[in-house]
Amino acid sequence: MSQNPILKSLIAEQLVSDPGSARGRLLTEAARLFRDKGYERTTVRDLAAAVGIQSGSLFHHFRTKEEILKAVMVETIRLNTALMQAAADQAESPRGKLKALVRAELESINGQTGEAMAVLVYEWRSLSEGSRAEVLELRDIYEGLWLSVLEELSGKGQLKAEPFIVRRMLTGALSWTVTWYKPERGGLTLDGLTEQVMAMMGL
Amino acid sequence: MSQNPILKSLIAEQLVSDPGSARGRLLTEAARLFRDKGYERTTVRDLAAAVGIQSGSLFHHFRTKEEILKAVMVETIRLNTALMQAAADQAESPRGKLKALVRAELESINGQTGEAMAVLVYEWRSLSEGSRAEVLELRDIYEGLWLSVLEELSGKGQLKAEPFIVRRMLTGALSWTVTWYKPERGGLTLDGLTEQVMAMMGL
DNA sequence: GTCTATAAAAAGATAGAC
DNA sequence: GTCTATCTTTTTATAGAC
């Protein structure tokens, strides 16, 4: 199992769980179930069965079911903030940076960690009030990354609408791809999809 | 209670429930609860309380809780197909038609029927397999309306990306506005938001 | 058409043995 | 760290009176 160097360093810093560990495997399976069935429809018995243990044993790892949801969200946003940062750093021009961000977010949503990204976007309501604050704080960092690139682009007159509105439109549009984009069949590659998104914005 | 003439004629044809009727009021309240708490977190007791009856009495109107979800979706898509058709018919040019569709969908999502539109988009997973077919059939008509306008625009060389991809991006982007767009505070009107969306596409 | 009462099942969580 | 067994609560749905 070869691992992304970014993921590797986050694991070393204990900011995300090793996918090979018991906790990591549970969170991976939880993300998949939460995306497919929704958090509420997923029972603790489903979660336990997915990693091959009994439901009672789950509570040795997490105090409540909601704590699992929160962990999925926190670790996902930490990982993806690092991924976006790395993507943006690779490019020089503002346009190149935006394209790299779009590509990276599409990859996250439709790739291995896609389940977890979808959970982050669509299961917000199921997070308890207390947990929201922590996730929100992390999300602000993530969004700040996007905004700084969009504002740079806007400053050069290359953006046709307001940066914060463009970002919100992109959030909706890119996350929605999880419901329809199937890279396996049909000729549209991730790069092709990225191009379409950029083209749509006249970039 | 003055009513939209389009809504009025749909009620007359018994394609959607009168919001004043018992059934109509229940569906309105159900849509609101389903959007705010999610379908699964909303109990039949919540639904009953929202219209001032006991939970047992609900089952005189609907056989199951899921039937309520399905009814919300079916009636919402019927109403909105009619609304989009009327909007598109008002404009002459392809660009004008697209703008009218964007405006109308934003209005639906963020206006009085917005709760129900959000349910349609975000509660799809909670619909039983059997019910999906019926809703899907109606959705195809709705989407066909958008596609014909986008293809017309594309034929004139005014669209920078493929019609079906643009539509899917718009679906995600416009429905996502329900999570952040607050017309009351902040200066952005619905027309302003519509302009931003069109501008983003270079239109 | 709504009420009360309750059946029947499902779900989150706990306790103690191994 | 996982198992079995079970408690407690919640939830959908039903039955029959009014």
pLDDT at A183: 86
Residue of A nearest to B38 (CA): A125
C-beta of residue A58 within 8 angstroms of C-beta of residue A48: yes
pLDDT at A113: 87
Binning pLDDT at 50, 70 and 90, where does residue A2 land? low
B43 touches strand D (CB under 7 A): yes
Return d(Cα A9, Cα B65) in angstroms, integer: 47
pLDDT tens digits, one per residue of A71-93: 999 999 999 999 999 999 999 99
Nearest to A94 by CA among A151, A140, A45, A16: A151
Secondary structure, 3-state, A53-98: CCHHHHCCCCCCHHHHHHHHHHHHHHHHHHHHHHHHHHCCCHHHHH
Query: How far is A102 from chain B, CA to nearest CA, in Å?
Result: 13
Average pLDDT over residues A147-157: 97
* Identity of the residue numbered B162: E
A173 with B177: Cβ contact below 8 A:
no
Average pLDDT over residues A25-41: 97
Query: How far is A173 from chain B, CA to nearest CA, in Å?
Result: 4
Nearest to B116 by CA among B81, B155, B76: B76
B45 touches strand C (CB under 7 A): no
A176 with B171: Cβ contact below 8 A:
yes
pLDDT at A83: 97
Q: Which residues of B touch A120 (CB under 8 A)?
A: none
Q: Is the pLDDT of residue A139 over 90?
A: yes
pLDDT tens digits, one per residue of B183-201: 887 789 999 999 999 999 9
Q: Is the pLDDT of residue B2 over 70?
A: no
Distance of CA B126 to the CA centre of its chain: 17
Tell me, what DSSP letter sits at residue A17? Answer: -
User: Which residue among B40, B172, B173 places its CB closest to the CB of A40?
Assistant: B40
Q: Where are the domains of chain B?
A: 5-200
Spanning CA of B42 to C1' of C3, the rounded length in angstroms is 22
Nearest to A38 by CA among B115, B41, B178: B41
Q: Which residues of A touch B125 (CB under 8 A)?
A: 36-38, 41
pLDDT at A185: 73
pLDDT at B186: 75
Secondary structure, 3-state, chain B: CCCCHHHHHHHHCCCCCCCCCHHHHHHHHHHHHHHHHCCCCCCHHHHHHHCCCCHHHHHHHCCCHHHHHHHHHHHHHHHHHHHHHHHHHHCCCHHHHHHHHHHHHHHHHHCCCHHHHHHHHHCHHHCCHHHHHHHHHHHHHHHHHHHHHHHHHHHCCCCCCCHHHHHHHHHHHHHHHHHCCCCCCCCCCHHHHHHHHHHHCCC
What are the backbone angles phi and psi of residue A137, rounded to the nearest 5°?
Answer: -60, -45
pLDDT at A104: 97
Q: How far is CA B90 from CA A90, B96, B104, B166, B185, in A?
A: 48, 9, 11, 22, 30
Residues making up chain A, counted from first to last: 203
B128 touches strand D (CB under 7 A): no
CATH entry, A5-200, from 3.40.50.2300, 3.40.50.1110, 3.40.190.290, 1.10.357.10: 1.10.357.10
Residue keyed to tokens 């919100």: A168
C-beta of residue A51 within 8 angstroms of C-beta of residue A31: no
pLDDT tens digits, one per residue of A92-110: 999 999 999 999 999 999 9
B168 with A160: Cβ contact below 8 A:
no
pLDDT at B12: 96
C-beta of residue B40 within 8 angstroms of C-beta of residue A38: yes
In this complex, the nucleotide whose C1' atom is nearest to the CA atom of residue A51 is D2
Binning pLDDT at 50, 70 and 90, where does residue A187 land? confident
Q: How far is CA B22 from CA A86, B25, B27, B74, in A?
A: 56, 5, 9, 17
Average pLDDT over residues B161-172: 96
Average predicted confidence (pLDDT) for chain B:
95
Residue to mutate among B127, B200, B203, with most A CBs inside 10 A, is B200
B165 with A201: Cβ contact below 8 A:
no
Average pLDDT over residues B26-44: 97
C-beta of residue A139 within 8 angstroms of C-beta of residue A175: no
What are the backbone angles phi and psi of residue A173, rounded to the nearest 5°?
Answer: -65, -45
Average predicted confidence (pLDDT) for chain A:
95
Residue A60 burial (C-beta neighbours within 10 Å; 0-12, 13-18, 19+): exposed
- With b for 16 or more beta-carbon neighbours within 10 A and e for fewer, the B156-169 pattern comes to eebbbbbbebbbbb
B66 touches strand D (CB under 7 A): yes
User: Which residue among B169, B180, B196 places its CB closest to the CB of A173?
Assistant: B169
A22 touches strand D (CB under 7 A): yes
pLDDT tens digits, one per residue of A56-66: 999 999 999 99
pLDDT at A3: 81
pLDDT tens digits, one per residue of B77-101: 999 999 999 999 999 999 999 999 9
A196 with B161: Cβ contact below 8 A:
yes
Where in chain A does DSSP place strands (E)?
none
Query: How far is B143 from chain A, CA to nearest CA, in Å?
Result: 14
* Identity of the residue numbered A17: S
